[in-house]
Amino acid sequence: MLVEDTEIPGCHVLQTRVLHDERGTFTKTFHAPMFEDATLRTDWVEEYFTLSAQGVVRGMHFQRPPADHAKMVFCLVGKVLDVVVDLRKGSPAFGRALGFELTADNGRGLYLPAGCAHGFLSLSGTSGMYYKVTSVYSPEHDAGIAWDSIDFDWPIADPLLSPRDRSHPALTDFDTPFIFAKD
């Protein structure tokens, strides 16, 4: 697995090796010693899996402190446009949004540090996303920002959204509790 830096400090593309044979594929998505060597967190406490129809946007989600968390995501089925926004005051990338195409075939995943909002657009008939996080879900700390309030050129104008995602505040109205800390 290769760990590639992005323009958002602490956010990394995880490029795995996808092995193909007549049975299908095999991909290793986590290796604790490699993560530790790259100074990435390994204290995962919950895992999730979502299936989304084409045209669904889920996001932009995060948890507020003290329940904030680092997150690792992979697309296991289909194809998504995965989007990350840096919400950390003092970060050189504060407010910057980046998008990455994740597919079941390209072996690409993302590692997001605490203080980043995350979301995605399902680009295929069905998309399956797998998440690992470093804190337990906490409804009172669960939060988000409006998907269309970030500086990102989404390739969809009217996605299918949950009522929760339709109610998130705009990024400009969000008072961030996150502070950037240089390692």
Question: Which positions are annotated as active-site residues?
Answer: 61, 131
Q: What is the DSSP string of 144-180?
A: E--GGGSS---S-SS-B--HHHHTPPPGGG-----B-
Amino acid at 37: D
Amino acid at 90: G
- Give, as one character, the DSSP assignment of residue 44: -
Q: Are 170 and 150 in contact (CB under 8 A)?
A: no
In angstroms, the CA 109 to CA 4 distance is: 10
In angstroms, the CA 85 to CA 96 distance is: 6
In angstroms, the CA 158 to CA 57 distance is: 9
H helices, E strands: number in the chain: 2, 13
